[in-house]
Amino acid sequence: MTIIEHNNEIEIIGVRDFDLEKTFECGQCFRWSANQNGVYTGVAFSQVAELCTDIQTGSIFISGTIEDFKNIWCDYFDLNRDYLQIRQDLCIDDFMIKATEFGAGIRILRQDKWEALCSFIISQNNHIPRIRSIIDNLCKQFGDKIKFKDRDYYTFPSAEKINTLHVKDLANIRSGYRADYIIRAARDIADGKINLEELANRPSDEARKELKKLHGVGDKVADCVMLFGLNKLDAFPLDVWMKRAVTQHYGSGFDPQTFSPFAGIAQQYIFYYMREHGSNRWGKINNE
């Protein structure tokens, strides 16, 4: 991988297994959107960025400086990890050969821990367009405004900010019963009852147990937070659709740690493949 700095833009040459559409549209994040030219714009860690792929050369371009790339985007897109080798290691049977080939290019984003927790609380029994709408409204109402190319974007509001609110204050974001979960999670984070930074350094079983102490957080949300927020790649989120997929191909007694240490990456390949090929198109991403 070679990095070249242009005029307020970084060119990444030779990165393998990085497909923008698959990465942003596989259900792991909700704040990136593409225009008609395939240019993605999003906000992460209080920074707005544009990304696009040069079809001719395969180079990926990210707006910003080399400092932005080093401090935020290199880790956020997990660019130092060899996903091609991981895909090869996960090809344990014909099904995984198909799933990993179809999902080639997905990278697990290393998202802000609180944002991941709040986002997946919102995702419960919800459709992706509505999840995006709720999160967008949450950021517009309680985040900080950022100007980028003459447009307004908004940061994800901190747990400390949400902790100052009440359930009624979230009425306009239309999150329904999840508003109570959001407020109570923010309170526990802001008060230090749950330390997400500390959980990232603890074994997965311990981290899951602590996350499930949060009101409204079950196994699925906890595993999503671990995978997409705490970067625990052994987490294997299971909703009803993933349970059906695993049972169909491996039987009811299958242990996801067969894919260790990258069970979470295997889960994304399976989820993405089954979402596109299953008889149910999976409008909901999180059915507990």
261-281 mean pLDDT: 84
134-153 mean pLDDT: 97
Residue 102 lies in a domain: no
Residue 37 lies in a domain: yes
Closest C-alpha among 113, 125, 131, 277 to residue 211: 113
140-168 mean pLDDT: 97
116-134 mean pLDDT: 95
Closest C-alpha among 32, 23, 24, 52 to residue 132: 32
Q: How far is CA 168 from the centre of its chain?
A: 28
C-alpha span between 199 and 91 (Å, rounded): 31
Same domain for 203 and 148, yes or no, is yes
Structural tokens at position 83: 């996903």
Last residue of a domain, one of 217, 250, 267: 217
Total number of domains constituting the chain: 2
Task: State the pLDDT at residue 244.
Answer: 87
Same domain for 117 and 212, yes or no, is yes
Same domain for 119 and 206, yes or no, is yes
Same domain for 76 and 140, yes or no, is no
- Please tell me whether the overall predicted TM-score, pTM, comes out greater than 0.75 for this model: yes
> Domain containing 55: what range?
2-80
Q: How far is CA 267 from the centre of its chain?
A: 13
